[in-house]
Structure 1
Amino acid sequence: MAGLWTPLENWSLQKRFQWRGFRPSAVPLVLVAIDDRSIARLGRLPWDRRRFAQLLDRLEGAAVVGIDVLFSEPTAQDALLARAIARQGRVVLAAARTPTSVRLEPVPPLAEVSAGIGDIGAGIFGENLQLRTALVVPKSPGSDLEVETFGTVIARLYASLAGLSQPSVPDRIWLNWPGPARSLPSVSAIDVLEGKVAPARFADQIVLVGVTATAVDALITPFDTQASGIALHWTVVDNLLGNSALAPWPGWLTGLVAVMSALGLGFLLTGRPGWLQLTITLAWAAGWVGLAVVLFWRSSIWLPLAAPAGALILAGGFSLIEGEQRTARRLEIQRERRKAQQAVTDSLATALVAATGDGRIYFQNPASAPFFPENRSTPFLGEQLQALGWLSAEQWAEAQAALGSGQPSQRQVNLGERDYRLRLVPLSQDEQVGGILCAIEDITAQLELERLRQQMLGMLSHDIRSPLTNIRGFAELLKISPPSSDIELEEMVDPILSSAERVQGLVSDFLALARIESPAFDLKVQPLSVQARLRPLMAELRPQAEARHSRLVAEDWPKEPLIIAADPLRFDQIFMNLLTNALKYGPDSQTIRVRLSLDSPWVAIAVIDEGFGIPDAALERIWEPFYRVKTAQTEGIPGTGLGLAITRKLVELHTGSIAVTSNPGQGSCFSVRFRQQNLAPDP
């Protein structure tokens, strides 16, 4: 028996032992217990072997004496104990082995006079219900020795001395435990040594001498969680001599009974009402359990219980619960469908609100909570949809008219600073409008994208088409009327080059913004000196400034280097954009100052110009892609509207910040802040 049924069957067998209780033995067995009282009087083991010699003299009339104590170490009292063993003449000694398989035999003087030697090694398995009667132990390197267990040797010796037929000893026996260890007939070793037990008590008895003191052994039996090993040897002797070992059914017969019982019960239950199926199944299973208990109690026959009874219950239960399972499956599918629908509505970014035909709300998903007063997640039953103020009275009347005809209604509404699309869909019931589903979708981002798209199209139509028109016009002019001099050639080629540079700059800005917003974009950050990076940038732009009679000035630069962690290339790009803008959007003869300051833990870099300035209404929008400030002074200045958007994105990727202040007609101040570093810059 294997698999699922084995632990259940062993458990049921243990329960049958406990229900039965103590079973008197027909074998003359007496236990001389080295108990707690004996150890308290004579000390802990090992005892002086003279004690065992005295004990054997008291047991002179015993049929067989088995001593479950190891005598593997020689002592000065071995000769005295050997004479006592020889006088008794029917003593079985114990042998064992260490965890490293070292054989522990009785010392030769004792082994030579003993009537037999039995192994007290484990050999027990299967939830302590089975025992191997012969054990294979190492004898010498490369060879093994088969020895019999302690109880087996005692049983064979007693049968031989008593003139009985030798007990049948299989390779393994199913132990029929007699009862709790405390219920075994026993006397204390100290009482025997002190003469308190009459010698007649042991006449013609099998006497087992063993340790029962607390915490010496930890044998688990169906009756005890901590019994001594001598209880096992007692059970083996009792089972072999009394022919009382359990007689289990063969595994194949158990399986056959389980299958036939299930088939027969299934046939019997077919077509019967559920209550009758349950009654028949329980009655059949109870009858089998009762039979198993009676046979075990009366004849020590182990009739399988778990597998047949389980098969009966399963067979009967299957037909009983099959209909319930179908119903449960239907209900589960409905529940799962509702859960899926709930999960879908809960995960939607679109707010959903359902109301009855007259506008009373009965459902909303989490996304709709911000649209209710006080951000309420659960509306009051009967709250009116139209009372929330999403639509005016006139719009609500128009929507109701459309819904009444079965048509959806859609409106774009502005709530606070966001734009929403409000869609009302009729919910049909019996071909009539039974309710309203209101979907509220935030379209602010869509409208913003549309605005950017329009800006981009406007920019493309002007900033790309105009230079391309110039390039084409001058190219056609060159083809039709070749220049007659170098000066005329230069006058025709310069506009082509200028227009090409404008297109190239626009494309470069497009690509730069696309790269920065790509997830794969990566900064190569390293420590750098702000002063060391700004000096060459200002030197590069100084010729352009001087051409317009303007100056680039370093203001309040500390002598000590200000160290930040930044990507050198992107740092240069940030301040090249800001300095170029300061030159482009300012008059001639202005002073552009680059001011450095330390506001620990931040390094602030300010670019201050005396340019045209930025109107207050445009201060927040200058960071938007494609946005350009349109004033009389900036009209005609080429640009894509992407420079500041790129600059702000690069600063934020460095975990920095950028801000602007401006006075129209007086100039602007762009301030960039980076976190200060204490590391030395790379050379």
Structure 2
Amino acid sequence: MKLSVLVLFTALAVGLSIGMVNFYFQHSWYYLAISFGVSFLSSFLVFYYLLEKYIYTKIKLIYKLIHNLKLGKDLKDALGEYVSSDPINDVEHEVKEWAGAKKKEIDLLKKQEQFRREFLSNVSHEFKTPLFAIQGYIETLQDCMVDDPEMAVKFLKKAESNVERLSYLINDLDAIAKLETGEAPINYQKFDFVSLAKEVMDNLEDRAKAKNIKLFFKDKYTAVTAVMADREKIRQVLINLMVNSIKYGIDGGETAIKIFELHDQFLVEVTDNGIGIEEKHLFRLFERFYRIDNHRAREVGGTGLGLAIVKHILEAHEQTISVRSTPGIGTTFAFTLQKGG
């Protein structure tokens, strides 16, 4: 509502009130009109002056501050720019909008704090397990180095295995950190995705055979598929997805790669007929260290960062990844890649 309209209604209410009181005592329409006119005019001038000087001007200043500070300007610039024609309604709108934004910011900070606590707890646990194992093996080695050389060699190999696990964990954490900060730039190049996928399957063939799992392309998906991406990083995406599929696959199972052509992208699916994943876990699969079954995850190994790395690599490419799964039937990871033209 405009200032003049607000003052007009206020003065009108005052004038009518005084006029009616005067009429009650004088019983004269003449004096009613005189008292109404004088009180209305004087009220209008007084209210307009007071509201303009002490309220409206302050509200305009507050609105200018809110509006311009939201635009990222400093205090000096915020005070000197932009005047709204209706700052009262605009202030209400801006405050509501600001309050909503702050609530979202607070909710996000709470989630980040929760994530930070979980992350530190997970990192601590992941490091402690191999470190304590190494410590135990070294202490045992000191006792049996001379008396039982064969046992000493076994403990050395076990210690080496845990050192490798620590190395993988550090490398994966370093990879995620570099992807998040942009220290690992995306080196775009045009290449045939099908040939890359076949290379990855060849490299993982022995691991798959150990679990009696078949890796394959269906014939209709083997045509040359030119994409524009970082070849080595997409190799890592495929390796992580397929290794994950092999880990949680079933004996005699299959893992297949399919490619679907979209408008300006290719949709790649890595599908298996493994144990599957319950729906309640799907939205957290790409979190760092998130494990559906911690006991089984320890048995199959890994750092718990593979899917998080996959997500970061694809987001760095400005692409997306999704997952769908049914327990006892299998899981499908799907991601997009830009066409190579």
TM-score (norm 1): 0.36
Aligned with 1:621 (options 284, 294, 298): 284
Separation in 2, partners of 1:597, 1:440: 41
The runs of 5 or more residues in structure 2 that have no matched partner are 1-55, 72-88
Separation in 2, partners of 1:498, 1:490: 12
> Could you tell me how far 1:452 is from its partner in structure 2?
1.2
SS of the aligned residue for 2:275 comes to: coil
Match of 2:96 in 1: 368
Q: 1:615 to 1:337 in 2, by over 3 A?
A: same
- Contact kept, 8 Å, 1:478 with 1:492, in 2: the verdict is yes
> Could you tell me how far 1:624 is from its partner in structure 2?
2.5
SS of the aligned residue for 1:517 comes to: helix
Q: Is 1:345 aligned to 2:66, yes or no?
A: yes
Match of 1:167 in 2: none
Q: Is 1:512 aligned to 2:175, yes or no?
A: yes
Match of 2:32 in 1: none
SS of the aligned residue for 1:489 comes to: helix
| Residue pairs, 1:460-499, within 5 angstroms | 460-482=123-145, 484=147, 487-499=150-162
Give the residue type in structure 2 aligned to 1:584. K
Q: Is 1:598 aligned to 2:326, yes or no?
A: no
Supply the RMSD in Å over aligned alpha carbons.
3.4
Separation in 1, partners of 2:248, 2:265: 28
Q: 1:560 to 1:441 in 2, by over 3 A?
A: closer
- Contact kept, 8 Å, 2:221 with 2:259, in 1: the verdict is yes
Separation in 1, partners of 2:157, 2:239: 25
What do the CA deviations read for 1:60-117 (whole angstroms, capped 9, x no partner)? xxxxxxxxxxxxxxxxxxxxxxxxxxxxxxxxxxxxxxxxxxxxxxxxxxxxxxxxxx
Q: 1:540 to 1:481 in 2, by over 3 A?
A: same
Considering fraction of residues, name the structure with more helix.
2
Give the residue type in structure 2 aligned to 1:444. D
Aligned with 1:656 (options 311, 319, 324): 319
Aligned with 1:442 (options 94, 100, 105): 105
Separation in 1, partners of 2:146, 2:181: 47
SS of the aligned residue for 1:597 comes to: strand
SS of the aligned residue for 2:324 comes to: strand
- Contact kept, 8 Å, 1:529 with 1:561, in 2: the verdict is yes
> Could you tell me how far 1:363 is from its partner in structure 2?
6.0
Give the residue type in structure 2 aligned to 1:345. I
> Could you tell me how far 1:340 is from its partner in structure 2?
6.9
- Contact kept, 8 Å, 1:523 with 1:567, in 2: the verdict is yes
Match of 1:396 in 2: none
Separation in 2, partners of 1:633, 1:440: 39
- Contact kept, 8 Å, 1:660 with 1:670, in 2: the verdict is yes
- Contact kept, 8 Å, 2:213 with 2:249, in 1: the verdict is no
Separation in 2, partners of 1:455, 1:639: 18
Match of 1:638 in 2: 301
- Contact kept, 8 Å, 1:554 with 1:593, in 2: the verdict is yes
Match of 1:647 in 2: 310
What do the CA deviations read for 1:548-577 (whole angstroms, capped 9, x no partner)? 222222223545311001111111111111
- Contact kept, 8 Å, 2:248 with 2:275, in 1: the verdict is yes
- Contact kept, 8 Å, 1:612 with 1:633, in 2: the verdict is no
Give the structure, 1 or 2, with the largest relative contact order (CA under 8 Å, sep 6 or more).
2
Match of 1:677 in 2: 340
Q: 1:363 to 1:672 in 2, by over 3 A?
A: closer
Give the residue type in structure 1 aligned to 2:96. S
> Could you tell me how far 1:581 is from its partner in structure 2?
0.7
SS of the aligned residue for 1:595 comes to: strand
**Which deviates the most, 562-571 or 667-676?**
667-676
- Contact kept, 8 Å, 1:455 with 1:627, in 2: the verdict is no
- Contact kept, 8 Å, 1:582 with 1:592, in 2: the verdict is yes
| Residue pairs, 1:134-533, within 5 angstroms | 342-346=63-67, 347=69, 364=92, 366-369=94-97, 442-482=105-145, 484=147, 487-533=150-196
> Could you tell me how far 1:341 is from its partner in structure 2?
5.3
Q: 1:629 to 1:344 in 2, by over 3 A?
A: farther
Q: Is 1:585 aligned to 2:240, yes or no?
A: no
Aligned with 1:538 (options 194, 201, 221): 201
Separation in 2, partners of 1:362, 1:576: 54
Aligned with 1:611 (options 262, 269, 274): 274
> Could you tell me how far 1:371 is from its partner in structure 2?
6.4
Q: 1:345 to 1:572 in 2, by over 3 A?
A: same
Q: 1:457 to 1:669 in 2, by over 3 A?
A: same
Give the residue type in structure 2 aligned to 1:368. K
Q: Is 1:555 aligned to 2:218, yes or no?
A: yes
Separation in 2, partners of 1:362, 1:571: 49
- Contact kept, 8 Å, 1:609 with 1:667, in 2: the verdict is yes
Q: 1:522 to 1:340 in 2, by over 3 A?
A: farther
- Contact kept, 8 Å, 2:277 with 2:325, in 1: the verdict is yes
Aligned residue pairs: how many?
271
Larger Rg: 1
Give the residue type in structure 2 aligned to 1:532. S
Separation in 2, partners of 1:580, 1:496: 24
Considering fraction of residues, name the structure with more strand.
1
